[in-house]
A = this chain, B = another copy of it.
Amino acid sequence: VTFAEETRVRAVGGGAYAAVIAEGWDVLGNTNGGYLLTLAARASMEEAGRPDPVSVTAHYLRPSQAGEAEIGTTVLKEGRRFATVSAMVRAGGQDRVAVLGSYGDLEGRGGFERMESAAPDLPAPERCVRLEPTETFPPPVTGKIDLRLHPDDAARLLDGGSGEPRVSGWFRLGDGEPMDTVALLLAVDVFPPTSFNARLPVAWTPTLELTAHVRARPVPGWLRCQFSTRFITGGFLEEDGEVWDDSGRLVAQSRQLALLPESR
Contacts and interface: CB of A to CB of B under 8 A. Distances in A.
Interface of A: 54-55, 57, 59, 61-62, 76-77, 79, 82, 84, 86, 88, 95, 98-102, 106, 109-117, 165, 198, 200-202, 208-209, 211, 213, 215-216, 229-236, 238, 249-250, 253, 255, 257, 260, 262-263
A57 B100 contact: yes
A84 B112 contact: no
A238 B253 contact: yes
A58 to B, nearest CB: 9
Contacts of A232: 112-115
Copies in the complex: 2
B257 A113 contact: no
Contacts of A233: 113-115, 215-216, 249-250
B238 A213 contact: yes
A230 B4 CA distance: 32
23 contacts: A54-B257, A55-B59, A55-B257, A57-B57, A57-B100, A57-B209, A59-B77, A59-B100, A76-B88, A76-B98, A86-B98, A109-B234, A110-B234, A112-B200, A114-B233, A115-B230, A116-B229, A116-B230, A117-B230, A211-B255, A213-B257, A216-B233, A233-B249
